[in-house]
Structure 1
Amino acid sequence: MFRFDNSYARLPERFGTKMAPAPVADPGWVAWNGALAAEMGLDPAEVEASLDVFAGNRVPEGAEPMAQLYAGHQFGGWSPQLGDGRAILLGEHVHGDRRWDVALKGSGPTPYSRMGDGRSALGPVIREYLVSEAMHALGVPTTRALAAVTTGETVLRQEGDVAGGILTRVAASHIRVGTFQVFAARDDAEAVRLLLDHATARHHPTAGGPLGFLRAVMERQAELVAQWMGLGFIHGVMNTDNMAVSGETIDYGPCAFMEAYHPDTVFSSIDQFGRYAWSKQPDIALWNLAQLATALLPVMGEREAAVREATETLEGFADLFDAAWRRVLGAKIGVNDPALGSELLAIMAEHRLDFTLTFRALAVDGDVVDAPPRLEDWLARWRGLAPDSEAMRRANPAVIPRNHRVEEAIQAAYAGDLAPFHRLHEVLRDPWTETAANRPFRDPARPEERVERTFCGT
């Protein structure tokens, strides 16, 4: 089924631990992703017949399974060793000129489990499948879900014993800022160099040396975070071990999409001080990039000069992000006027207007129902600039994975009913078109449906 060429597994042994996933008792299908399978050149019949592979009960031919090593700053605090505590990289599938990491998430304990069980509850599997595929449909670079299965086993979480699940996550790679950090912290310059060469060849082949690599990662992160913010998306856990150097969104734990807009919005239950609020995401991206730059210093030559050059490179992030955000916000309002866009956001924050519905109404109707007086004045000035409604329709989705709908699918799945998951997944495949089928999924949550906090899958 897969055509593996496992370049990461050929790196030295200290890059991870080679081991197979732990089998489960009684696997069953939640879903497998036919569109992604076709993109990867996989035979649909083989995918459907390979439940045991996606459950971790059989290692596919050509795989060299391993748990990857990395470290990271979590909410600003340094953790010297993290690693795949509940995931196994099966290998790198190659089709045409593309290469995908294929990893099982929730596949059992590893040496990096840090006293955890190495498993995943079904709920986080459902969330990551839905949100990562929604992000792909919205045009955002992201890891993707190839398959999701139930395990026939339960796991103990805060809410008690709940059904277990495993997600098959596909990524350009799983190399993180934290992967560089772990070797730099161990004064292993050789490993930093090997990792840099590997990641450069794989993701940024035109980058010249460490500074070129840093600049390439920085450019992609500036674009990515601007895209997130243009959708009202809050990652929720932007630790350095959750920033992929490929520029893809990775880790859909306590993530969420805003409904009522405010720049300080936080959903993550573990983000008690708002470190990863919607408006803080550019600052955190830069902070994480500074940690990457620090990790690259051992291979950048004389230290004083290296620090100066890295600092100068990082100082370019603000301009990169500002340019990306101007493009995103300009498309959302159909006018290249950052001040006008910022004024709209201020009005939306004052009145807690729904982020998605407000921009969509501007794109489709050129108006906002029951607009407050300040917004009416803004609308009059905005219409006078002849906004590009076609650009606005392409930038403002009709449907997002609203938190209460994702939670509805999760709770139904725990009760043994996968129909809400499949309905929501089908709706999210086309977020740009208003249809009768997606009409109920466009509405914000009623007060009793609101999801104010989201949780890490562990």
Structure 2
Amino acid sequence: MTVHFPFQNSYSALPDSFFARVAPTPVTAPRLIKLNRPLAVQLGLDPDMLDTPEGAAILAGKTVPDGADPIAMAYAGHQFGHFVPQLGDGRAILLGEVIDREGVRRDIQLKGSGPTPFSRRGDGRAALGPVLREYIVSEAMFALGIPTTRSLAAVVTGEHVIRETALPGAVLTRVASSHIRVGTFQFFAARRDTDAIRALADHVIVRHYPQLREAERPYHALLAGVVARQAELVARWLLVGFIHGVMNTDNSSISGETIDYGPCAFMDAYNPAQVFSSIDEMGRYAYANQPRIALWNLTRLAECLLPLFSDDQEKAVAEAQDILGAFSDQFSAAYQAGLRKKVGLFTERDGDEALIQDLLDAMAKNQADFTLTFRKLGDAAADDAADVRAQFMEPAAFDEWAGRWRARIALEQQGAAERQAAMHAVNPMFIPRNHRVEAVIQAAVHDDDYAPFEELVKVLANPFEDQPEYAAYADPPLPDQRVLRTFCGT
């Protein structure tokens, strides 16, 4: 019996200008180091067959399974505000698409599977560290309930890649609703290929927004749909302290999923200006800038769609601006609703927004840990506030705010236990803290030890549970453990 992928490929049926057909480059000695067995089952795959040498060969790109139609997708993109007319999958190859058990079409892509026509002198390979980072963080985001690409498997290749030094090579099998990006539309817009833009938009509507097929103005509705999903997505990022790190338009998914976990990170101490990415020297993609950048990216998408709106340029621009104008209110509504849940408010009253902002301001001034402050606030709803106060350099700053907070929650009928349960359901105990991720990577890269990786993945699969046996994973880093910079995997 062989490994079977029930491929039903649609993107590779689009015109040849959308991609380049290219097979993965075989590797020497693939070894499976992690298989996401529940995800495999969800995709209709046999995890026992994948967890074999034959499965490892497929997941490393050494063997191409029957029914696959390997392609590297074409796209352009604004990188840190500068437009590059051709980027494309330089180290990723889409094997094909499967229909999962919920009837959703999913891409199965190998990341780090060798050079493609879009590699731009790169080797097309991935080092083990970035593969483990993406596996850890993408699956943590899934457990947190945030739309995201998923990680099906990580495989070491038996070969080294050369970055600053020689590092173990690896391949990540990434699963996504699709890999279509704002930059995909930009690729064709830069070439003034309106027919391709229309074909791509039609494909996206069928795949991601099927309810819009009968809309009176489907392309306007498509832009509105993407705007709404991105507003909701970025609000969810901020609510868990996530910083994407490289929000280029080629990393902005049309489906509304988080995609491309390069120099991403979760904040420890709350700081709206926090930047981790080593390449974000000007703070363009800092934590608090993410909503503004999301709108900037969506504006680039709107520019691509203008020829589908109207032959009258002024009319098309006005219509696009009207749709984009909804982003701020949509983001604010999602973000403020999430913040109210985080502080245990079941109702909405005048003054709530200011009350919550006062907490955030005090957290920033006192270098309070973002995750633990909100988690322990849930405990304070049912007990004393000692653990919350400990997060603040000057505990009195919390005390002053807490008095007003207690007066506010007293206006609601819910009891302490109900409030605590509701707060714990939205405020995680465990996030992929940077120092933990880095420790896992170092153990794997230098010692071929994957036990720390396995344990971290296990803890992060249940982020809202206390898990007393793994309590140390909730701790912020000590001063000498702080990770101040994260790096792109290319």
TM-score range, shorter chain: over 0.9
> Do the aligned partners of 2:443 and 2:449 also contact (CA within 8 Å) in 1?
yes
Q: Amino acid of the residue matched to residue 246 of structure 2?
A: V
Deviating more after overlay: 361-370 vs 21-30: 361-370
What residue is the counterpart of 2:107 in the other structure?
101
Shift of 1:402: 0.2
Q: Map 1:7-26 to 2 at 5 A.
A: 7-26=10-29
Q: CA deviation at 1:440?
A: 1.2
Alignment of 1:77-88 (within 5 A): 77-88=82-93
2:317 to 276, 293, 307: 307
Tell me which amino acid in the other structure corresponds to 1:314.
L
1:130 to 102, 125, 136: 136
Structure 1 residue 450: deviation in Å? 0.6
Q: Which residue of 2 aligns with 1:147?
A: 153
**Partner residue of 2:477?**
445
C-alpha deviation, 1:45, in angstroms: 1.5
**Residue matched to 2:423:** 392
Q: Write the distance in 2 (CA, Å) between the matches of 1:327 and 1:438.
A: 30
- CA distance in 2 between counterparts of 1:42 and 1:340 reads 49
Code of the residue aligned with 2:33 in structure 1: it is: V
Greater shift, 427-436 or 168-177, is seen at 427-436
Structure 1 position 92 matched with structure 2 position 107:
no
Q: What is the match of residue 178 of structure 1?
A: 183
What are the residue-to-residue correspondences of 1:376-415 with 2, within 5 Å? Answer: 376-386=399-409, 388-415=419-446
Q: Secondary structure at the match of 2:425?
A: helix
Q: 1:272 aligns with which of 277, 281, 286?
A: 281
The number of equivalent residue pairs is 457
Local SS of the residue matching 1:286: helix
Amino acid in the other structure paired with 2:335: W
The question of 1:38 aligning with 2:56 is answered: no
1:236, 1:254 within 8 Å by CA — same for their partners in 2?
yes
Question: CA contact under 8 A between 2:110 and 2:174: conserved in structure 1?
Answer: yes
- Residue 266 of structure 1 contacts residue 278 of structure 1 at CA under 8 Å; is this kept in 2? yes
Output the CA distance in 1 between the equivalents of 2:469 and 2:296. 42
Per-residue deviation at 1:301?
1.7
> What corresponds to 2:198 in structure 1?
193
Q: CA RMSD in A?
A: 1.0
Using the TM superposition, name which of 388-397 and 301-310 deviates more: 388-397
Match among 321, 334, 341 for residue 344 of structure 2: 334
Contact in 1 for aligned 2:27/2:61 (Cα 8 Å): yes
What letter corresponds to residue 487 of structure 2 in structure 1? F
CA displacement at 1:176 relative to structure 2: 0.2
Which AA in structure 1 matches 2:22? M
Q: 1:232 aligns with which of 219, 238, 241?
A: 241
Please tell me whether the aligned partners of residues 64 and 90 of structure 1 are also in contact (alpha carbons under 8 angstroms). Answer: yes
Question: What does residue 367 of structure 2 align with?
Answer: 352
**SS at structure 2 position matched to 1:145:** strand
Amino acid at match of 2:455: R
Shift of 1:391: 2.1
Distance in 1, matches of 2:230 and 2:360, equals 23
Alpha-carbon distance between aligned partners in 1 of 2:33 and 2:314, rounded to the nearest angstrom: 54
Q: What CA deviation, in whole Å up to 9, does each residue of 1:392-443 have, x standing for no partner?
A: 1111000000000000010111021111100101111100111223211000
Q: How much has 1:390 moved relative to structure 2?
A: 2.5
358-367 vs 284-293, greater mean Cα deviation: 358-367
Residues 63-82 of structure 1 aligned to structure 2 (within 5 Å)? 63-82=68-87
Secondary structure at 1:391 match in 2: helix
Contact 1:6 1:92 in 2 (8 A): yes
Query: 2:397 matched to 1:369?
Result: no
Structure 2 unmatched runs, 5+: 413-418
Q: 1:320 aligns with which of 330, 333, 354?
A: 330
Matching residue's letter, 2:91: R
1:95 Cα deviation from its structure 2 partner: 3.0
2:126 to 120, 124, 129: 120
- TM-score computed with the length of structure 2 as normaliser: 0.92
CA contact 2:389–2:398 (8 Å) conserved in 1: no
Give the letter aligned to residue 205 of structure 1: P
Could you tell me how far apart the structure 2 residues matched to 1:318 and 1:369 are? Answer: 33
For residues 341-377 of structure 1, give each alpha carbon's deviation from its aligned partner in whole angstroms, at most 9, with x where no partner exists.
1111000000110000100000123321335222101
Residue in structure 1 matched with residue 209 of structure 2 by the alignment? 204
Q: Unmatched 5+ residue regions in structure 1?
A: none
* C-alpha separation in 2, matches of 1:140 and 1:282: 16
Question: What is the CA–CA distance in structure 1 between the aligned matches of 2:228 and 2:211, rounded to whole Å?
Answer: 13
